A and B are shown apart, each in its own frame.
Chain A
Amino acid sequence: MSDDMGRIDRRQMLKALAAAGVAGAIGPLNRSAHAAMDKVVIGVIYVGPRDDYGYNQAQAQAAAAIKKIPGVTVVEQEKVPETTDVQKTMGSMIEQDGATLLFPTSFGYFDPHILRMAEKYPKVRFAHCGGLWTEGKHPKNVGSYFGYIDECQYLNGVVAGHASKSKKLGFIAAKPIPQVLRNINAFTLGARSIDPKITTTLIITGDWALPVKEAEAANSLIDQGVDVLTCHVDSPKVVVEAAERRGIYVCGYHANQATLAPKGYLTGAEWNWLTPYTMHVKDAQAGKPMVNFLRGGLKDGFVKPSAYGPAVSEAARKKADGVKAQMMKGDFVIFKGPIKDNTGKSVIDQGVAQKQTDVVLEQMNYLVDGVVGRV
């Protein structure tokens, strides 16, 4: 036998190769058949790389987990810009892969891209991360999911407040928009609940992914005496690594970055997108109408704190766990008056409690007392 194999001439070899090529070419063409009745094809689209230790990775972890649900096929595409490219990517998933539920995850995909495609494909469901869906204004086959991550940011602040010796914390943020300001403020309020002398020095980089600027900001903050860093950028990787290299503490964001800073990683504010993903997938499979507005915090399983790192003291654990327990019961309010902004103006009056669902919080345009920086 082996002798025969050796004697296959070039012509036969080429024939075999060509046949293999044809088979390979035809195989994928028949794949559209996989959109059968009981099955659902789900498309997930990311604006950056799936393994960014940040925003996209948090989504990709949920996508990886829903693959295990029976009858679910997941197709993924990464690094899709917020231009017509994403419209074509959504269209390709629908037309070429037979997707009926899409998770276009970047905030900027919503308007105009998702809205346009939702109009064009009324039978396809579009689940968008960010909480922009408005009753009466947006189509019923579009839904928003988002989490109250400021709860975890507050817990980050509590832990950071215990860990800091210099009483100077640092926050590196992408843009001064309400979502980001809410995180900065929650983090600072958490820290100042431990020691009112603590300040948070803020550096705004200007965009979601600027690794060089983020590294510079981290080093500059550390040079100013900051000994706990955290951030709100798409990928906290650079900030976390810089903190570890310089021997200070760091709190993570979006996903778990503990492996990047085994010594200095205290805890982190993580998304748990599996919760809304599962809800949307189950509804799609059962043919139930889409829930257009999904939101939740710690107690709803939309967000979660990272496991404490080795540097977190017993006192800090106890205190943070106590606050977390209150949040889980639903009777902890982060933005409770009196709160002043860092120019001395009262922003939430005595006796006013703005709960998570309060829409006023969605328009946040101030930095609380204790933040060193400007909007």
Chain B
Amino acid sequence: MTREAVIIPLGALVAAMLLFGIFMAALGQNPFEVYALIYRGAFASAFSWQNTLARAAPLVLTALCVALPAQAGLMIIGGEGALVLGGLVAAVVGHALAGAAPLAAQAAMAAAAMIAGALWIALAGALRHWRGVNETISSLLLTYIAIAIFNHLVEGPLKDPASLNKPSTPPLSDAIMVGRLPGLDVHWGLGFGVIFAVLMYVFVRHTTWGFALRIVGGNVRAARLAGLHVGALVLLACALGGAAAGLAGMVEVAAVHGSANASLIAGYGYGGILIAFIARQNALAVLPVSALVGGIAASGGMLQRRLDLPDATVLVLQGVAFVTILASEALYGRLRVFQRARA
């Protein structure tokens, strides 16, 4: 990590804010009031910070579902599918273990969800490795299949007969619900996300397996020549990413909804794609970027409520930020200031 890696994205954000300010001014809004509201909605108080972090929590894990396979050179965008299946499996396991000790039941739910997510994304990896199927397309299509399976089971064989107008699996007992982080109104999903991200950063950067993974990502032929098991590594990267998204599904079920139902399909899997790209597929950078996107979402509500702006305004801000940050990648190694500092 150099100063360059911090200053360039921050500069891009400032540029995005300026552009967005011009856009707001064109709409007849006072940009400074808009900035003040964004700050107030997302970061100005303990309440707004918790609002931001609660929105960021599921995105950390789904972003890892993109960032980890990316280490092996795969563009997986099917985190949503792993999330809903993870959530479904967690709901089934949690219901079956209703009488078990809470920690054991939670561990079993998490493990089952991670395995389900891992297998699902590994499927896209396997199709890529052995059949040459483009993993971006296949993982996206697998998401549709996952959602169809999810809906079929939740509205059919696994439906709780008492859930009339909102078909759901039978509710988990309160005892095994995952609680909130101490002192915060944010559930443990954020904690899991931080732990997962740090572990993955260490794994990718500081282990031989992680190094091998990055070689595969850098040049598959070189990796083969070096005698690496490319297939196994591709599957591993996909499985790790899928496990993260599966865990996100378990958290949604066990910390929020209490059962698996259509509310689970909220687009967090797609939100993670954006974050992973802005974080340049770095597991650790996923954390601040998730907080930023969570903050934009939190302040989006403020803009809607105070200035009567449509929800699309927030999409504009998010889009502008996305484009400037991606465009700023072209600046790496080209700015004189940093060259001099290095020399």
Q: Which A residues touch B261, using CB under 8 A?
A: 108
A29 to chain B, nearest CB (A): 7
Q: Which A residues touch B165, using CB under 8 A?
A: 107, 130, 177-179
Is A296 among interface residues, defined by CB-CB distance under 8 A? no
Q: Which A residues touch B151, using CB under 8 A?
A: 206-207
Q: A76-B305, A77-B301 are in contact. Are A24 and B263 (CB under 8 A)?
A: no
The one of B148, B258, B266 that contacts A83, using a Cβ cutoff of 8 Å: B266
Q: Which A residues touch B155, using CB under 8 A?
A: 175-176
B55 to chain A, nearest CB (A): 6
A342 to chain B, nearest CB (A): 19
Q: Which A residues touch B310, using CB under 8 A?
A: 49-50, 78
Q: Judge whether A24 and B32 touch: CB under 8 Å.
A: yes
A179 to chain B, nearest CB (A): 5
Q: Which B residues touch A176, using CB under 8 A?
A: 155
Is A299 among interface residues, defined by CB-CB distance under 8 A? no
| Stretch of B34-42, B125-133, B236-244, B283-291 on the interface side | B34-42
Q: Which B residues touch A130, using CB under 8 A?
A: 165
Q: Judge whether B305 and A79 touch: CB under 8 Å.
A: no
Nearest B-chain residue to A45, judged by Cβ: B301
Q: A24-B33, A27-B33, A82-B266 are in contact. Are A108 and B305 (CB under 8 A)?
A: no
Provide the A96-107 mask, 1 if CB < 8 A to any CB of B, else 0.
110000000001
Q: Which A residues touch B57, using CB under 8 A?
A: 84
Nearest B-chain residue to A179, judged by Cβ: B165
Is A31 among interface residues, defined by CB-CB distance under 8 A? yes
For the complex, what is the distance from the CA of A56 to the CA of B89, rounded to whole Å?
32
Q: Which A residues touch B311, using CB under 8 A?
A: 49, 77-79
Q: Judge whether B47 and A95 touch: CB under 8 Å.
A: yes
Q: Judge whether A25 and B35 touch: CB under 8 Å.
A: yes
Q: Judge whether A88 and B55 touch: CB under 8 Å.
A: yes
Q: Judge whether B304 and A28 touch: CB under 8 Å.
A: no
A147 to chain B, nearest CB (A): 14
Total A-B contacts with CB atoms under 8 angstroms apart: 121
For the complex, what is the distance from the CA of A29 to the CA of B33, rounded to whole Å?
10
The one of A43, A81, A206 that contacts B267, using a Cβ cutoff of 8 Å: A81
Which of A82, A93, A179: most chain B Cβ within 10 A?
A82
Q: Judge whether B47 and A96 touch: CB under 8 Å.
A: yes
Q: Judge whether A28 and B47 touch: CB under 8 Å.
A: no
Those of A29-72 within 8 Å (CB) of chain B = 29, 31, 43, 49-50
Is A92 among interface residues, defined by CB-CB distance under 8 A? yes
Q: A78-B310, A107-B166, A130-B165 are in contact. Are A207 and B262 (CB under 8 A)?
A: yes
A315 to chain B, nearest CB (A): 36
Nearest B-chain residue to A26, judged by Cβ: B36
Q: Which B residues touch A22, using CB under 8 A?
A: 32
Is A362 among interface residues, defined by CB-CB distance under 8 A? yes
Q: Judge whether B41 and A92 touch: CB under 8 Å.
A: yes
Is B54 among interface residues, defined by CB-CB distance under 8 A? yes
Q: Which A residues touch B166, using CB under 8 A?
A: 107-108, 111, 177
B312 to chain A, nearest CB (A): 8
Those of B226-268 within 8 Å (CB) of chain A = 252, 256-258, 261-263, 266-268
Q: A20-B32, A207-B262 are in contact. Are A88 and B304 (CB under 8 A)?
A: no
Q: A82-B266, A84-B256 are in contact. Are A91 and B32 (CB under 8 A)?
A: no
A245 to chain B, nearest CB (A): 26
Is B51 among interface residues, defined by CB-CB distance under 8 A? yes
Is A275 among interface residues, defined by CB-CB distance under 8 A? no
The one of A76, A83, A91, A112 that contacts B47, using a Cβ cutoff of 8 Å: A91
Is A363 among interface residues, defined by CB-CB distance under 8 A? yes
The one of A21, A112, A363 that contacts B164, using a Cβ cutoff of 8 Å: A363
Is A75 among interface residues, defined by CB-CB distance under 8 A? yes
Is A89 among interface residues, defined by CB-CB distance under 8 A? yes
Q: Which B residues touch A78, using CB under 8 A?
A: 304, 310-311
Q: Which A residues touch B185, using CB under 8 A?
A: 91
Is A321 among interface residues, defined by CB-CB distance under 8 A? no
Is A216 among interface residues, defined by CB-CB distance under 8 A? no
Q: Judge whether A83 and B30 touch: CB under 8 Å.
A: no
Is B167 among interface residues, defined by CB-CB distance under 8 A? yes
Those of B30-86 within 8 Å (CB) of chain A = 30-33, 35-37, 40-41, 47-48, 50-51, 54-55, 57-58
A194 to chain B, nearest CB (A): 29
Q: Judge whether A82 and B263 touch: CB under 8 Å.
A: yes
Q: Which A residues touch B51, using CB under 8 A?
A: 88, 91-92
Is A119 among interface residues, defined by CB-CB distance under 8 A? no
For the complex, what is the distance from the CA of A42 to the CA of B268, rounded to whole Å?
29
Q: A21-B32, A97-B305, A362-B164 are in contact. Are A108 and B263 (CB under 8 A)?
A: yes
Known contacts A21-B30, A50-B310, A175-B155; can you find 5 more A-B pairs with CB under 8 A? A21-B32, A25-B32, A83-B266, A178-B164, A206-B151
Residues of B with Cβ closer than 8 Å to A?
30-33, 35-37, 40-41, 47-48, 50-51, 54-55, 57-58, 148, 151, 155, 164-167, 185, 187, 252, 256-258, 261-263, 266-268, 297-298, 301-302, 304-306, 308, 310-311
Please name 9 pairs of A and B residues whose Cβ atoms are closer than 8 Å in the assembled complex, sorted by A: A21-B35, A24-B30, A27-B33, A83-B252, A84-B55, A88-B54, A88-B298, A89-B301, A177-B164
